[in-house]
Structure 1
Amino acid sequence: MTFRFPRRPAVALGAAAAAVLMAASACSTGEGDLANEEPTADAAELSITPEDGGSEIRPDSPIVVSASNGKITDVQVEQQLPEGETDKSMTGGYNDDKTEWVSDWTLHPGSDVTVTAAAENSEGKTSEAISEFSTVPPVEGQRLEIKSISVEPDSTVGVGMPIIVDFDMPVENKAQVEAAMEVTSEKPAKGAWNWFGDKQAVFRTEEYWEPYQKVDVNLNLAGVAASEGVWGIENRSFGFEVGRSQISTIDENKHHMTVERDGETLKEFDVSLGKASQRKYTTTSGTHLTMAFHTDYRMSNDTLGVSEDDPEYYEEFVDYAVRISHSGEFLHTADWNYQLGEANTSHGCINMSVSDSKWFYEESLRGDPVDITGTDRPLEVTNGWGYWQRSAEEWISQSATGEADDTSEPGTPGSPHHEQ
Structure 2
Amino acid sequence: MTLPGSPYLAYKGADLYMDDISLRDLVRQHGSPLYVYSRKAMLAALAPYQRALKGRQHLVCYAVKANSNLAVLQTFAQAGCGFDIVSAGELARVLAAGGDAGKVVFSGVGKTRAEMKLAIETGVRCFNVESTAELEVLSEVAAGLGQRARVSLRVNPDVDAGTHPYISTGLKGNKFGVAHELAVNTYKRAAALPGIEVVGIDCHIGSQITEVSPYLDALDRVLDLVEAIEAGGVRIHHLDLGGGLGITYTDETPPGADELIAQLLAKIDARGHGHRELVFEPGRSLVGNAGVLLTEVMYLKPGEKKNFCIVDAAMNDLMRPALYEAYMGIVNTQQRDDAAQTWDVVGPVCESGDWLGRDRQLSVQAGDVLAVLSAGAYGMTMASNYNTRGRAAELMVDGDQVWVVREREAVADLFKLEKLLPA
Category of TM-score, reference length = shorter chain? under 0.3
Q: Which has the higher contact order (CA 8 A, sep 6+)?
A: 2
Higher strand share: 1
Q: TM-score, normalised by structure 2?
A: 0.24
Higher helix share: 2
Q: TM-score, normalised by structure 1?
A: 0.24
